[in-house]
Structure 1
Amino acid sequence: MSEVRLSGVTAGYGVEAVLEDIDLTVPEGTTTAVLGGSGSGKTTLLRVVAGFLRPRSGTIVVGGRTVAGPGVSVPPERRGVGYVRQDGGLFPHLSVAGNITFGLPWPRNRHHDRVLELLELVGLPAAMAERRPDQLSGGQQQRVALARALAPRPALILLDEPFSSLDTALRTTTREATARALRATGSTAILVTHDQDEALSFADEVAILAHGRFRQVDRPRTVYREPVDAEVAAFLGDAVMMAGSAADGRVACLLGSLPFQGPVLQGDVEVMIRPEQITLTLPGAGQVDAVVHSVAYFGHDAAVELDLVDDASHRVRARVLGMDTPAPGEHVGVSVAGPVRAFGREVFAATPSPSVARRRART
């Protein structure tokens, strides 16, 4: 399997660009999750890499071979790229074995051992080889789709929101099986998703795509704990944002004087606190006092909305263990664990490319 590099890629439809001068490197044998909202350009990115859409500028290199660039446009079937769609896209008239071997050389019946190898790899029993897709669950269909994509030993696997149509339990088990299969084969993969938990738990790196550009590409822990700006902080995971004032490595805000991460800043800043950093104590025992406004209970944990006693107009949100859930109306103390993140007040103002700005102006 092989490294993938996109350099200065611009692409779109008609006269408008969806992706603007983007760079991305996916190291060999790793998975990068491209995370973005609707209209951010995720699907366009996959189409360009797969060869279904030709970029207007820039180059795409897969395994040391340029597959798109000035004067170069390798057709999809010759790029060595496997594609797993959201719905699996299995051929209903073919058996599981027939689907898996569809892209392999004739005669396909000589690939029996490869079928069994791949079924074991994706966690399906050999007895399923002769079943039809309509005899499989949604999760099983997605595993067969992955096996089909892996069968020709491609240089790159593209995963187009492959778990989004599955229920919660199936999504988790299918995602885990997919991750194991990719690791076992040493595959290089790009996953596009709008599911933040999926991106953080599945990939080696997370690339935040917004307004046709990458805002940050880094390890999941770094992107979550050290977002580059307030927009990324608010987009990736839950975040409590408030104004503050920075001096000497600490920031003063409604929740007290707190240590902060990030560049050395002085004066007015934007403060980001993750809800799981906010801990609840007995009244008077925390840095500030608050009243529980509401509770959203999820079993394993709960989201608690809090009105600050000294500033009831500002509501903050904490994440607590399900067994420690307070009741609405209860008085609590509020403290913040660990350093927070601070940004200069010149917060990234969602500066889209001119073509993206024109498209938004019409909607």
Structure 2
Amino acid sequence: MSEVRLSGVTAGHGTETVLDDVALTVHEGRTTAVLGASGSGKTTLLRVIAGFMRPWSGTVAVGGRTVTGPGVWVPPERRGVGYVRQDGGLFPHLSVAGNITFGLPRPRRRHRERVLELLDVVGLPAAVADRFPHQLSGGQQQRVALARALAPRPGLVLLDEPFSSLDTGLRASTREAIGRALRATGATALLVTHDQDEALSFADEVAILARGRFRQVGSPDAVYRDPVDVAVAEFLGEAVVLAGTADGDRVTCSLGVLPVQGAVPGGEVDVMVRPEQLSLGPAGSGRLDALVRGVTYFGHDAVVELDLVDAAAHTLRARVLGVTLPAPGDRVGVSVTGPVRAFARGGHPVSERVAAAAS
């Protein structure tokens, strides 16, 4: 296990800056997910840590040893870093056992017990050891790729969107299996992804990367429930954003007078409500009345689009259980569960700030 520490890392291609004075710490034995849109610098970050790319400035330390810095450059093969690519990158002409032991010293490649140990760690039966990659499912191939990365007992494992090429069901099961394997070995891991659900469910910590800089780093719960601004709030899941006025620990908006989480700037604010905070009930029951515009059904839950009856141009999206649902045209009551988040009204429209965070 190794702590990873980046400080002042700036990197790019030609004259284009991709990472801009980045700092990040991945604590020993923990998993951090770097979440960002395409072009935000996620893969460049991994390449710099792995040693596949030299940054223009800054330092990278793995396990307390500087591997990149002024006058210091440790080649990739000597960094003690495992790398799992998006497509797994298995060698088609080698068996599973051959792939797993490929990065080991030649005398150790014949140690069958290490292969069987790693197959057990990643949740695969011993019988697959003699199969070839084309005889495995996509999820099995990714587990073998992780086993290969873990074989030399690296201090750090880098995961470059390893689940994105899998279908939905296989993605979830493979993600769970790889998460268990990383915890079982106590490995320090850094995952890059553009999938919000993946980042929130897989990692101990989430780092939001936009335009080559980290906007927020924290636990999944903290980043989701207490985003630093509206841009991060809307990038990390759905959000209902309304104009409001703050006064003490309360905010007034079209949903009524609501309690606020955290420090509240006075005066005009943007109010953020998560769709799952909107609760539906019978119309005229002391709640705000709304008309149902549409229902999008997902099985386990559904998104209900609503127009508030007494607030023109206010369309809401509520996420509710998919057991009993209203129909388009129904009149329902709407209330808010839990505190909301408020942000000082910025100099740019919300839509522009969201676009900036996702670009």
TM-score grouping bracket, smaller chain normalisation: over 0.9
Matches within 5 A, 1:1-363: 1-346=1-346
Cα distance 1:50–1:286, how it changes in 2: closer, same or farther (>3 A)?
A: farther
TM-score, normalised to structure 2's length? 0.96
Gaps spanning 5+ residues in structure 1: where? none
Amino acid at match of 1:104: L
SS in 2 for 1:262: coil
Instruction: Measure the CA separation in 1 of the matches of 2:57 and 2:286.
Output: 55
Amino acid at match of 1:30: R
RMSD, matched Cα: 1.7
Instruction: Measure the CA separation in 2 of the matches of 1:110 and 1:317.
Output: 58
Amino acid at match of 2:274: R
Instruction: Measure the CA separation in 2 of the matches of 1:212 and 1:157.
Output: 22
Instruction: Measure the CA separation in 2 of the matches of 1:62 and 1:30.
Output: 14
Amino acid at match of 1:219: S
Instruction: Measure the CA separation in 1 of the matches of 2:111 and 2:179.
Output: 24
Is the Cα–Cα contact under 8 Å of residues 291 and 331 in structure 2 kept in the other structure? Answer: yes
Is the Cα–Cα contact under 8 Å of residues 100 and 145 in structure 1 kept in the other structure? Answer: yes
Is the Cα–Cα contact under 8 Å of residues 264 and 342 in structure 2 kept in the other structure? Answer: no
Query: Where has structure 1 moved over 6 Å in runs of 4 or more?
Result: 347-351
Out of 101-110 and 127-136, give the one that drifted further. Answer: 101-110
Is the Cα–Cα contact under 8 Å of residues 133 and 141 in structure 1 kept in the other structure? Answer: yes
Instruction: Measure the CA separation in 1 of the matches of 2:328 and 2:184.
Output: 49
Gaps spanning 5+ residues in structure 2: where? none
- Equivalent pairs, count: 355
Cα distance 1:108–1:93, how it changes in 2: closer, same or farther (>3 A)?
A: farther
Is the Cα–Cα contact under 8 Å of residues 229 and 347 in structure 1 kept in the other structure? Answer: no
SS in 2 for 1:324: coil
**1:108 Cα deviation (Å)?**
4.5
Amino acid at match of 2:41: G
**1:177 Cα deviation (Å)?**
0.7
**1:111 Cα deviation (Å)?**
1.8
Percentage identity across paired residues of the two chains: 74
SS in 2 for 1:207: strand
Instruction: Measure the CA separation in 1 of the matches of 2:294 and 2:234.
Output: 21
**1:248 Cα deviation (Å)?**
1.9
| Cα displacement string for residues 238-281 of structure 1 (whole angstroms, at most 9, x for unaligned residues) | 10011100002100001110001132321100000000000011
**1:310 Cα deviation (Å)?**
1.1
| Cα displacement string for residues 192-224 of structure 1 (whole angstroms, at most 9, x for unaligned residues) | 001111100000000000111000000000000
Is the Cα–Cα contact under 8 Å of residues 102 and 108 in structure 1 kept in the other structure? Answer: no
